[in-house]
Structure 1
Amino acid sequence: MSLINSFGPARAFALGLALISLAPAQAQKTTVKTKNSKVKTKTTGAAGTTVSKTTAVASSAPLVAMEPQPAPAPVSPVASAPQVVTAAPAGLPAEWISDLGAAQAQAKATNRPILAVFSGSDWCKPCIMYEQEVFAKPEFTAYAKDKLVLAHFDFPRMKKNQPTAAQLKLNEAAAAQLNKEGDFPLAVVIAPDGKVLAKTGYIAGGPVAFEAYLKKVVPTL
């Protein structure tokens, strides 16, 4: 006789429910790992099999607000940086030589001291003032004509004012001998034998004041 016939239909149905309640859950999900906004789950079936499933979810990590970065602090210019100007000085008279070697040769031949001027004609305001107020004046040209050998070495910054490669080489050679510190403006008084007698920056007062300075350095002038 079968089990159903032995217990009757009602009892057989109750027994079936009891057996089902004793079995493990059909689908239990357990979170095992979270990474990169993905949740990996493990599903265990009644037969003991395991099925893995990965589901993309929104990240639960709190969002960190990015603080605004402060604007970079302005870079302070070098204290000795010259003022930038747009106007270039008037050209110097033709008596000025731009070759230190040629000036030295002329100084020896004439036994006259050299006045070598280093300038930045398109960026150095004191340089421009020096040339406009002193060196380009007809009074100074007349004074220096038979007393000095005049040499001028310009170091402009604007592209349109750049000297030729040959002249730039002469300027740099002169600076290597007389203006290693890179001072602008700079006036150097040199004896006929090549000895440096004095160096000075800008002197206010025009040709008269500069001539007075020269006479202190070279009393025979």
Structure 2
Amino acid sequence: MSKQSVIKSASLTFLITLFFSGIAFGQNWQTDFNQALQKAKSEDKPIILVFSGSDWCAPCMKLENEIWSSDEFKNFSAEHFVLYKADFPRKKKNQPDTEQVKANKQLAEKYNQKGFFPLVVVLDENGKVLGETGYKKLSPNEYIKHLETFLK
């Protein structure tokens, strides 16, 4: 192999690695709601607050698999949203730590008083509700457009 082909091969490998790590890390779910609010303010982005039952709610699992895990949503959300998931799993092995459970319950008291799952709440950078939705049988790009209707 010539020196030039080795360089091209190494460059291609580097670009592929960079691309896939961008996808893997393109989605950054916040774990502290106050930090999510601060990030939203500093970056002038809305917050997507998701109330999920990750191990028991079938529509929550569909939302995770069809929308949140999609490359389209990951790439778009990295630039346009601050993400926070308030998860309410039922299985003991999936329970978050005590502080996280307490924080999620406080968020539910404020933003999900009716206890809907999944509930997707779009908030402005001050925590004001702009709109609410849930699981919808849409493509990731259609779901993004749906979320954006709350921002107008």
Q: TM-score range by the shorter chain?
A: 0.7 to 0.9
The amino acid of 1:148's aligned partner reads F
RMSD: 1.6
Aligned length: 128
Contact 1:112 1:192 in 2 (8 A): yes
Hey, which of these two has a bigger chunk of strand by percent?
A: 1
Change (3 A) 1:169 1:94: farther
In structure 2, what is the equivalent of residue 96 of structure 1?
Answer: 29
In structure 2, what is the equivalent of residue 140 of structure 1?
Answer: 73
Mapped to 1, the partners of 2:36 and 2:111 lie a distance apart of 13
Provide the TM-score with structure 2 as the length reference. 0.79
Deviation at 1:215, TM superposition (A): 2.2
Mapped to 1, the partners of 2:100 and 2:148 lie a distance apart of 31
Contact 1:99 1:171 in 2 (8 A): no
Provide the TM-score with structure 1 as the length reference. 0.55
| 2:103 is the counterpart of 1:184 | no
In structure 1, what is the equivalent of residue 100 of structure 2?
Answer: 167
The amino acid of 2:38's aligned partner reads A
| 2:134 is the counterpart of 1:201 | yes
Contact 2:48 2:84 in 1 (8 A): yes
Deviation at 1:93, TM superposition (A): 6.9
Contact 2:26 2:75 in 1 (8 A): no
Deviation at 1:98, TM superposition (A): 2.5
| Structure 2: runs of 5 or more not aligned | 1-24
The amino acid of 1:131's aligned partner reads E
The amino acid of 2:142's aligned partner reads A
Hey, which of these two has a bigger chunk of helix by percent?
A: 2
Mapped to 1, the partners of 2:137 and 2:81 lie a distance apart of 20
Spell out the pairing of 1:1-221 with structure 2 (5 A cutoff). Answer: 95-219=28-152
Q: Secondary structure at the match of 2:79?
A: coil
Mapped to 1, the partners of 2:52 and 2:67 lie a distance apart of 13
In structure 2, what is the equivalent of residue 5 of structure 1?
Answer: none
Q: Secondary structure at the match of 1:139?
A: helix
Contact 1:98 1:171 in 2 (8 A): no
Structure scoring higher RCO (CA < 8 A, sep ≥ 6) equals 2
What do the CA deviations read for 1:126-173 (whole angstroms, capped 9, x no partner)? 000001000111210100111100101110001111111111111112
